[in-house]
Structure 1
Amino acid sequence: MFLNADIVVKIVMVGLAFASVVTWTVWLAKGLELVLAKRRARAATLKLRRAKSLQEATREVESGWTRNGAVADLVQEAATEARESEGLSADGVKERLAIELSRIEARAGRRMAHGTGLLATIGATAPFVGLFGTVWGIMNAFIGISKSHTTNLAVVAPGIAEALLATAIGLVAAIPAVIIYNLFARSIAGYRILLSDASSAVLRHVSRDLDRQLRVENSSTASIS
C-alpha cells in the first residue's frame, strides 16, 4: 500500500514513522537517565540523613557514585556558603543558602525534563498529521473514481486503504508518545520531591551546625567573663 500511495501520503507516513522512532529513542535515553538520577538521589539522601554534621555529609556524599548527582551539588553549595559566610549572621546564611538550593533544584528539574516536550508535541500533532494524509488520500481516491468513471470497489478500495493507513500510523506514533510523556512527568515530579527532601536535609545540617557553633561561642564568652 505504501509503494502505491500518493507522494504526499508517503511523506506523511515517513514523517510519522520517524516521529515514532524519536519517541522510543527519547523513552530509552531519558528513561535510563531518570532511573540512574533517582537511584543516585536516593542513595545520597540516605547518606545525608545518616550523617551527623554537614562536614560528614559532604565527605559521605562526595565519595562513591553519588558524587556526580544533583544532591552532591546541593551539599557542595552548602559547604561553600558555610565557609564563605563564617562569622556572619546565621539567619542570613540560612536565607542565602535556601535561595541557592532552590535554584539548584529548579536547574536539575529543568535538565531532567529536557527533551520530554518533544513527546508532548508528537502526541498532540501526530493524529492530525495522519488525518491530513487520510483526507489527501481519500481526495485522490475520489479523483481516481471520476477519471475511471466507475464505482467498482476493486478500484476504490486500494486508495481508501492507503489513506486510512496514514491515520493508523499517526495513532501508532501519538498514543505511545502521550503515555510515555505522562510517565516521565510523574517520574520527574518524584525526582523533584527527592531533591526537595535532600535540600531539607542539607538545611537541617547547616542549621544544626550553626547552633552548635553559637553554643560554643556563648560558652567561650561565659568562661572569659
Structure 2
Amino acid sequence: MAQRLQFPLQMSFKLMAVAPQFLVKDARNQPVAYVKQKLFRLKEAISVFANEKQDQLLYEIKADRVIDFSALYHFTDHQGVALGGIKRRGMRSIWRAGFEVLDNGVTQFSINEKSVMTRFLDGLFSEIPLIGLLSGYIFHPAYQVTRPDGTLVAELTKRPALFEGLFTAEQMAPVNEREEQQLLLSLMTVLLLERTRG
C-alpha cells in the first residue's frame, strides 16, 4: 500500500455479479481496493486488486482449510509476504459474529458484532416472504474492532440499501502501517463472510 488510508471508507457490493465482489473507496471518493472472491474453490480464496480493472494485485486472502466455522484466513501481499490473518470465533457466531485478527499467532484486534438483537431481528425478518426484502433497509449490522486492552479502533456499519450491500468503515484510534493493512483486510474478509446479512 503506497499511502495511508483516508477514512471513512465506503464499501459497496457490485450488483448482478456471479462472484461476490465489491469496491472500496476512501474519504476522497478514490478507489482503494477492488475485492473479488474466487468461485468453485474448496478453500475460500479472495483477491484484492488496486481497482476495478483488476490489473494490479495488492493482496490475497486464503482459508487454511475447507470452509468451516474455525477456518483461519491468511493475508499476504502481492509478493507473498505474510501479513497475519483472521479467524472466526466458532459457535459464538450463531448469536453474535466474532473474529480474532492474528499476527504470528498473537491477537492484534477483535472484531465483534455490536448488537445481538439486530442480528436476531435481521435473521427473522429476512426469512419472511416479501417483507424479508426490506430487512437490508431496516436492519443495519455493525461490527466493532478493538485492541486486546479494549480500545475501540474502528467500526464497520451497514448502510440502508434495498438491492446492494453498502458499508462504511470509520477509524476511531490510530494504527501503524502494518495494522492498517490488517484492519483493511480483516474488514473486507468479514464483509464477505457476513455478506448475506442485511
Same fold (TM over 0.5): no
> How high is the TM-score relative to the length of structure 1?
0.24
Bigger Rg over Cα = 1
Relative CO higher for 1 or 2, CA cutoff 8 Å, sep ≥ 6? 1
> How high is the TM-score relative to the length of structure 2?
0.26
Q: Which has the higher strand share?
A: 2
Q: Which has the higher helix share?
A: 1
